[in-house]
Chains A and B, each alone.
Chain A
Amino acid sequence: MLAFVSEYPLLTAVGALLMLALVFGALLGYAEVRFKVEGDPIVEQIDALLPQTQCGQCGFPGCRPYAQAIADGEAINRCPPGGAATVQALADLLGREALPLEGGEAEPVKKVAYIREQECIGCTKCIQACPVDAILGAARQMHTVIADECTGCDLCVAPCPVDCIDMLPVQPQLKSWHWPKPSGPNAAFADRIIATDAQKVA
C-alpha cells in the first residue's frame, strides 16, 4: 500500500479525491431524498402574511394565488386590504424593497358588508359571490351578513341586482379599542411652530 502511494503519488491523490467525491455525492443524494420538502414553503409563509380577504384586488383569484405569484417574482405592493404593514412584512420576509402601495391609498379602512334587509329580494347572487361563505340566506329569503366572518372584500356588492349591499367602515368597539400612538416629540415641536406662526399672522 505504502509502496504504491510512494510510487504513484499522482494516481493516489486522484484516487483519494475521487473517493471523497463519491462519498459526498452519495451523502447529498441521500439527503435530497430524505429531507425533501413538499411544496414551496415560501408560498406558505407569504400566504400567512396576506390578509386573506380573497378580494382579488391584486389581480389574482384569491390570496394564495397571489402568494404563489409573489414567490414567482410578482410585485409585493398589490394588496390594498393589507396596506403598508403587509407590504413591509412581505419586504422583510423576501428581502425586497418595500414599495409604496399600488393605487395610492395608504391606510386601508376596515369595512364590512351590510345588507339593507328590507330591500333584499333573496336572489342568492351575493351568497355565490362571497368567497368566505359569510352571507346567510336562501332563495327568496332575506340574506344577511355574518359580520364577524366578513372580510370586507367588496365582491358581493357588484352582483346585487337591487344594490342593497353597503360597505360600512367597521365601527370601533370597546373590546378592540387600544391606546393610540403618542404624537411624539417632533409633532409637539411642529404644533408649537404652527401655534407661533398663527399668532404672528393674527
Chain B
Amino acid sequence: MAKIWDFHGGIHPAEHKDLSLQVPLRQAPLPAYVVLPLQQHIGAPARPLVRVGDKVRTGQKIADRQAGISACVHASISGTVVAIEERPIAHPSQMQDMCIVIESDGQDTWVERAPLINWQSANAETLLAHIKGNGIVGLGGAGFPTLSKIQSGRAHQLDTLIINAAECEPYITADDTGIRHYPQELVTGIRILQRILQPQQTLIGIEDNKPDAIERLREATIGTNIEIRVVPTKYPSGGEKQLTYLLTGREVPSGGLPADVGVLCQNVGTLIAVARALVQGEPLVRRIVTLTGHALAAPANLEVRLGTPIDALLRVAQLDPQKLARLILGGPMMGFSLPNAQVPITKTSNCVIAGTLQEFPSAAPEMPCIRCGMCEQACPASLLPQQLYWFSKAKEFDKARLYNLFDCIECGACAYVCPSQIPLVQYYRFAKGEIRKEESEALKAERARQRFEFKQERQAREQAEKAARRQGKTASAVQMEPSVQKAAAPASTETLDLKKLKIQLAAKSVAAKKAQQALTQAQEAGASAEELAELTKTFQNAQQEQAQAQSAIAQATETPTATQSPSPDVAELKKLKIQLAAKSVAAKKAQQALTQAQEAGASAEELAELTKTFQNAQQEQAQAQSAIAQATETPTSTQSQSPDVAELKKLKIQLAAKSVAAKKAQQALTQAQEAGASAEELAELTQVLQEAQQAQSQAQAALEQQQVPKTQHIQAPPKAADAHLKQLSVQIAVKKVAFRKAEQAWQQAHSSQQGDLDVLEAHMLNAQEALHKAQAELATYQAQQSSASNKQVTQDGDQHLLKKRKIAVSVAQAAVRSAQKRLDNLSEIKDTPSEQLAAQQARLASAQAQLAQAQDALAQAASTRTQEIS
C-alpha cells in the first residue's frame, strides 16, 4: 500500500450519501424544453451559431467558443430554437444571463456523430481537437474548460495524472454512480489523457466510503498502469490541492496550480465525457446529477440533458413542496441556495438538494468571534481564518492578501466548526470580490489616465501646430520685415521710436474700444439721440486717432527698410501698401459705425453723413489701391518688359479698383434700402452705383482692347480678323455684365417698391438693346468672315466655317433662351404693363428668327462641306 500523506485540518460532517444510492442510475425523461446558458464554464461566453426559429438536432453545436479560455455549447435535445435571450440562471446573484432556449420536438434525433475510431493511434493534437470541439469542461464543479487545463498542464513538466474520485462533500454521489455504471468509459478516458500527457504515473484518488466504486475500479483497471489510492474519508480531500498532497506529498505553492508540482487533476465525470466524445462522438450534452434531500420521496442519480429545468427533475424525484425548506445547488458545504427551481442544469451542476427544515435549519445568528482558534485547526489550506475574518470585516484587504486570502478554497470547514456561527466563507468571498473589483477599477483607472494623458498630449500638439501655422502666415504677411531689421540694425533709435509708436497705437486702440463700449452701453440703456451722436463722434475720433497711429507706425516701419532697401521703388510700394491697409481699416470702421447707427435708429441726416464718410473712406481706399497699382507698375516697366504688358497690368488694376468701388456702392445701396432711406437718397446711391458700374465696364473694355493687340503681338500668326472677332465678343461680354447689373438694380428697386422704377427699367432695356446689338454685330461679322473663308478651298477652312456656324447657332440659342427667361420673369411679376410684355415677346420672336437664320446657315455650310468631300 502506497503512502498517504494526511493534510492539515479537515472535518467529518455527516455524509448522507446513502440517500441517493438506494436506486441505480436512471435516464431523466426528455425535457419539453431546455435553457442552455452561453456561459456554463469559466472564461469567455460562447457565441451563438443559431438563430431563433432554427431547427437543431441533438449534439449539434449551437454556440462556438471564443478565443482564449472558453468552451462551445451543443444542443442537448432536438427541436426548434425559440429564443436567445436573458433568462434566470443558477447563480448566487440570482441574475439573468444570455441563454439559447430550445423547444423539444420529442424525437431526440441526433446529428451524425463523428467519433475518433482510432484514438489509440491518434496524436495528442487530434485528441485535443476533439476535446475542444465537444465542449468539454471540468464537471467537478468549477467548470474550467478541459482543453485549457490540459494545455496549461502540458506547458509544465508533468509526471503524475490524478483522477479525482474522492467526492468528499456530503450528499453528492454523482461521481460514485458514474464509476459504478461506466467504469470502462472512465478507464478509456484515463487512457486518452495518458496518451495526451504521457505521465509517469496515473493515480485514482478515492475515499474509502465508496467500496462498490473501488471494487468496480479494481476490476476495470486490471492490466493497466493505473493505480488506485484509497484515501480516508475527510472533507475536503476532494480539493485539487488537498488530493495532490494526499497522494504525492507535494504541496502546491501559494497562488500556484498542481501543475507547478508536476500534477494534473481530472474529475471522474470529465473523463467519462472525454471518452464518450472521442469513442462515441457524443459531445457534452448530458451529465449525472444527484437529486437528494429528505424533501424528495424518490432521491436518485439521474442522467440529465443539460439545460433541463430543475423543477422538472424535482418532479421526477417526487418533491414534497410541504417539506421543502431550502433548495441547494451543489453540496451543502460549497453550494448555494436557489430561490426558485426555474433555472436550468448546466455543465457544472452536480447535485440538487431539496432539504427539509430538520436538515437545514435556518442559520443561527452570528455571534462575536471568541478567538477560540478552532477555524485554524480545521483549515485544510493551513491559513489563519480568524485573521482573515478580522481583515475582511474591517475591509483591510491589503492585510487579508498578506495573509494569503486567495489561497482559501472556500471549503467552509472553518465556518462549520465555528462555535459563534460566523459565516466566515461569506466574509472571504466578500473580501475576494472587493479585491477583484478594486483591481479591475485600478486597471480601468490606469487606462483612463493613459487616455487622459494621450488626449492632453494630442491637444498640446495640435495647438503647437496651429501656432506654427499662424506664425508662418504672419511672417509671410510682414514679408520678413522684422528679421531683416534684426539682422541689420541692433536696437537703433528707429526701433525705439517704433516701439513708442506701437505703445501709442495700443493706447489709442484701447481708447477706441472704450468709446465703442460706451456707445453700446448708451444704446442699450436707451440714451437720447444727442448723447448717442456725441458718443458716436467720440468713437469716430478715437478710431481716426487709432488709424493715424497705425499709419505713423507703418511709416516708421518703412523708414529703416527704405534706408536699407536697394531700390526706392520697393520702399515706396510698401509705404503705399501700408497706407492702403490703414485706409481699409478706416473704411471698415466707417462701415461699422454706419451699421451701428442704423441699428440704433439714428436720424436720416446722421445716416447720410455717415454714409458719406464711409464712401469717402472707400474712395480713399480705392485711390490708394490704384496708387499701389501704379507703383507696382513702375518697377515692372523699368524692368526690360514691353510697355504693352505694363499698360495691360495698369488697366487690370484699374479694373479691379473700379470693381471694388462698384461692389461697395452696391453694398451701400443695399444697406440704405434696408435702413429705409428716402427715395432721393436711394436714387442718388443708385446713380453712384451705376456710375461705378459704368466705370467698371469701361475699364473692362479698355483692358480687353489693350489685351487684344497684346495677344496679337504675342501670338505667332496674328490675324486681324480673329482679333476683331475677339473684340466683338469682349464687347458682348461687357454689355452682358452691364445688362445684368441694370436688371438686378431694377429688380431690387421693384421688390422694395422704391426708387425710380421707370428710369431703371429704361436703363435695363437700353442695356439689353445694346447687348442684342452687339450680338447681332458679332453674328453678321461672323457671317462675313465665313463667307470670306468660304472662298478658301482648303478643307481646314471649311471645318473652321462649320465650327463658326455652330457657334453662331448656339449664341442665337442662348439669346432665345435668355429672352424667354426674361419674358417669364416679367409675366411672373404682377402689374407689368402689357406694352412691356408685348415688346419682350417681340424681342423673343426676333431672337428666334435669328436662331432660325443661324441654323439655316449652319445647314448650308454642312451641305457644302459634304458636297466638297464627296
A and B assemble together: yes
Taking Cβ atoms with an 8 Å cutoff, the residues of A that contact B are: 47-48, 50-54, 62-64, 85, 131-134, 148-149, 151, 172-174, 176-185, 188-189, 192
Extra contacts besides A133-B454, A177-B95, A179-B429 (5): CB < 8 Å: A131-B451, A148-B444, A172-B93, A181-B393, A182-B430
- Which of B427, B437, B445, B455 sits near A178, CB closer than 8 Å? B437
Q: Are A52 and B452 in contact (CB under 8 A)?
A: yes
Query: Which of B104-112, B364-372, B526-534, B745-753 touches A?
Result: B364-372
Residue of B nearest to A110 (CB): B441
Number of interface residues of B (CB under 8 A): 37
Q: Are B455 and A52 in contact (CB under 8 A)?
A: no
- Which of B93, B422, B448 sits near A174, CB closer than 8 Å? B93
B24: Cβ under 8 A from any A Cβ: no
Q: How long is the Cα–Cα vector from A189 to B365 in the complex, in angstroms?
A: 8
With contacts A51-B441, A174-B91, A174-B93 taken as known, whether A179 is within 8 angstroms of B433 at the C-beta atoms is yes
Residue of B nearest to A183 (CB): B366
Closest 5 CB pairs of A and B: A178-B433, A52-B445, A179-B429, A188-B365, A132-B451
Chain A contacts for B422, CB-based, 8 A: 185
B565: Cβ under 8 A from any A Cβ: no
Taking Cβ atoms with an 8 Å cutoff, the residues of B that contact A are: 91-93, 95-97, 365-368, 393, 395, 420, 422-423, 426-427, 429-430, 432-434, 436-437, 440-442, 444-449, 451-452, 454-455
Q: How long is the Cα–Cα vector from A189 to B432 in the complex, in angstroms?
A: 26
Chain B contacts for A188, CB-based, 8 A: 365-366
Q: Are A172 and B95 in contact (CB under 8 A)?
A: yes
Q: 7 interchain pairs (CB within 8 A)?
A: A51-B441, A174-B93, A178-B430, A178-B433, A182-B430, A184-B366, A185-B422
Where chain B touches its partner, the secondary structure class is helix
The listed residue with most B CB atoms (<10 A of its CB), out of A52, A134, A151, A188, is A52
- B160 → A minimal CB distance (Å): 34
- B546 → A minimal CB distance (Å): 36
With contacts A177-B95, A179-B92, A182-B430 taken as known, whether A63 is within 8 angstroms of B365 at the C-beta atoms is no
Q: How long is the Cα–Cα vector from A33 to B452 in the complex, in angstroms?
A: 33
Q: How long is the Cα–Cα vector from A34 to B96 in the complex, in angstroms?
A: 59
Q: How long is the Cα–Cα vector from A184 to B395 in the complex, in angstroms?
A: 13
Q: How long is the Cα–Cα vector from A192 to B367 in the complex, in angstroms?
A: 13
Q: How long is the Cα–Cα vector from A149 to B445 in the complex, in angstroms?
A: 9
Chain A contacts for B446, CB-based, 8 A: 52
Q: How long is the Cα–Cα vector from A85 to B437 in the complex, in angstroms?
A: 13
Q: Are A182 and B423 in contact (CB under 8 A)?
A: yes
Q: How long is the Cα–Cα vector from A54 to B451 in the complex, in angstroms?
A: 10
With contacts A177-B95, A182-B427 taken as known, whether A53 is within 8 angstroms of B366 at the C-beta atoms is no
Chain A contacts for B426, CB-based, 8 A: 179, 181-182
Q: Are A178 and B449 in contact (CB under 8 A)?
A: no
Chain A contacts for B96, CB-based, 8 A: 174
Q: Are B454 and A178 in contact (CB under 8 A)?
A: no
Q: Are A149 and B436 in contact (CB under 8 A)?
A: no
With contacts A52-B449, A188-B365 taken as known, whether A176 is within 8 angstroms of B430 at the C-beta atoms is no
Chain B contacts for A63, CB-based, 8 A: 449, 452
Q: Are A181 and B455 in contact (CB under 8 A)?
A: no
- Which of B368, B393, B433, B448 sits near A54, CB closer than 8 Å? B448
Chain B contacts for A176, CB-based, 8 A: 437, 440
Q: How long is the Cα–Cα vector from A108 to B97 in the complex, in angstroms?
A: 27
With contacts A177-B95, A178-B430, A188-B366 taken as known, whether A133 is within 8 angstroms of B455 at the C-beta atoms is yes
Q: How long is the Cα–Cα vector from A148 to B440 in the complex, in angstroms?
A: 12
Q: Are B434 and A178 in contact (CB under 8 A)?
A: yes
- B118 → A minimal CB distance (Å): 41
Q: How long is the Cα–Cα vector from A194 to B442 in the complex, in angstroms?
A: 40
With contacts A149-B448, A172-B95, A174-B91 taken as known, whether A132 is within 8 angstroms of B427 at the C-beta atoms is no
